Amino acid sequence: MWLHMYNGALLAAIVSAVLPQTVHATTLCTVCQDGSSIRHPEAFVEETEQTCAELAEEASYYSDPASCRYYHRYGNECGCNNKPPPDTLCRLCQDGSPIPDPSLWPDGYDGNCGALQIDAAWNLWSTFDADEDTKGKEASTCDYYHLAGTHCGCPDNVPPADGCQLCLDGSPPLIPDKAVTPGNAAEATCEAFSFYTQFMHTQGTEDCTKHQSVVGSYCGCSSTPSSQRVCDYCPPGLVTREGIVPKVDFKAGNRLFYFRDAACIKVAMLAEEFDFPCDVVPDAFVESCCEPATGLLEPEVFVQEEVKLGSKPQKHSVAGAKGMQHLDGETSHKREAGMQSSGSNEKYDTSLPTTVNWDDFVFLSTSAASSNFLEMRSKHSFTLIFTVLTVGWHFVFA
């Protein structure tokens, strides 16, 4: 899940959030692998924000091997002589080479590369991985640490061959610098998110398809999944834009999301994660967050002075032709004569349709934008009876 990657890799918080239950088993977890008592009960483990005595008490509520491995990972700080089991060993660098700088603290992680290397040796990600794509497959969880290794200076790490391509056709996002997690301390771009999906999801899985539909269209991918089980939360021909939606509520069954002043892409990604269907998309989201697919870029114009059959159009500099714009409920092409190209004083006359070869335009959606936006939007109109004055977003299970 993207949330794990960009809200930190420290997994101790996840464990402390789990309410312990009494375990009836012959062998309970201990901090020391050999079952001996910890030597330094008062020592403080910074990563878990617990003393060794508190860690040992918490460990005694669990008995499964994955949970025990978590407590063994911190045992050496309490005086134990623990060693990672070889069958779960992961490394940050795929070729087994040491990380260049263990003290480096990569953006988006709650620990330095040295701490991540220890986590990898104990394969802690498999202990708490909630991704159904990889659950129960120990080897695949090393991909998480290989991704972390790319941020720690491992030069030769590559994603798995069956990794999820953000763009369905395997091409890179057309808008690589667009923010996918706006406002986060470690703000991710479309390029970074594309790299993330290749390491963390498998091509063809449900999570991969969701990301391709929602984030792929947002990042300018030329093709997105056509499966009916996914939704990008904008009507056909429209994609999520960069921007803020002041107030929008999503309701499906007994689930209700309240969003206040949230980034449009964050709303779409959370709705995707919790499987909100397309037919619950409210007007407020469409009006604030959806834009024509071809409005994302200013495509290059191909000009021919003399149109001849079979001749290849001559490519000029970007002529500043504008994409489709929404005006009074209609989506139309708008071209301005004499518009200056970016970084050039030369002017281009794009007012004559005969000078533009429209077949060479890059359209960012397989669906053409509707000629009547208001009519299309009305199909997604729903009245929600819940009103809450809050800041940020909240979800409520009624």
| C-alpha span between 256 and 240 (Å, rounded) | 21
Same-domain check for residues 291 and 332: no
| C-alpha span between 272 and 163 (Å, rounded) | 20
| C-alpha span between 98 and 95 (Å, rounded) | 9
Domain boundary among 120, 137, 155: 155
The packing angle between helices 52-59 and 65-73, to 10°, is 170
The label of the residue with tokens 């005969």 reads 354
Burial class (CB in 10 A: 0-12, 13-18, 19+), 38: buried
53-105 per-position pLDDT tens digit: 999 999 999 998 889 999 999 999 999 999 998 877 899 999 999 999 999 99
Same-domain check for residues 120 and 252: no
Domain boundary among 120, 138, 155: 155
Same-domain check for residues 179 and 243: yes
Same-domain check for residues 126 and 177: no
Domain that residue 287 falls in: 159-297+366-398
CA torsion sign for 314, 318, 320, 321 is positive
Listed residue (170, 138, 97, 134) closest to 4, CA to CA: 134
Same-domain check for residues 108 and 211: no
Same-domain check for residues 378 and 308: no
Tokens of 334: 């708008």
| C-alpha span between 201 and 141 (Å, rounded) | 10
Domain boundary among 123, 155, 187: 155
Same-domain check for residues 87 and 184: no
Same-domain check for residues 286 and 305: no
Same-domain check for residues 319 and 209: no
Containing 240, the helix (H) or strand (E) segment is strand 238-240
Containing 55, the helix (H) or strand (E) segment is helix 52-59
| C-alpha span between 233 and 109 (Å, rounded) | 30
Tokens of 266: 């964050």
290-321 per-position pLDDT tens digit: 988 654 444 333 344 444 444 444 443 333 33
Same-domain check for residues 353 and 226: no
| C-alpha span between 125 and 69 (Å, rounded) | 11
pLDDT tens across the length of the chain (398 residues): 343 343 333 333 334 444 344 444 458 999 999 999 999 999 999 989 999 999 999 999 999 888 999 999 999 999 999 999 887 789 999 999 999 999 999 987 878 999 999 999 998 875 554 444 443 444 467 898 999 999 999 999 999 999 999 998 899 999 999 988 765 556 789 999 999 999 999 998 988 988 998 899 899 887 766 654 557 788 877 888 888 888 888 887 777 888 888 889 988 888 888 888 888 888 889 999 998 865 444 433 334 444 444 444 444 333 333 333 332 333 333 223 233 333 334 333 333 333 333 333 222 222 333 333 233 333 333 222 222 222 233 333 33
- Domain total of the chain: 3
Same-domain check for residues 286 and 203: yes
CA 295 to chain centre: 23
Tokens of 175: 């808008």
| C-alpha span between 256 and 56 (Å, rounded) | 39
| C-alpha span between 376 and 278 (Å, rounded) | 13
Same-domain check for residues 283 and 329: no
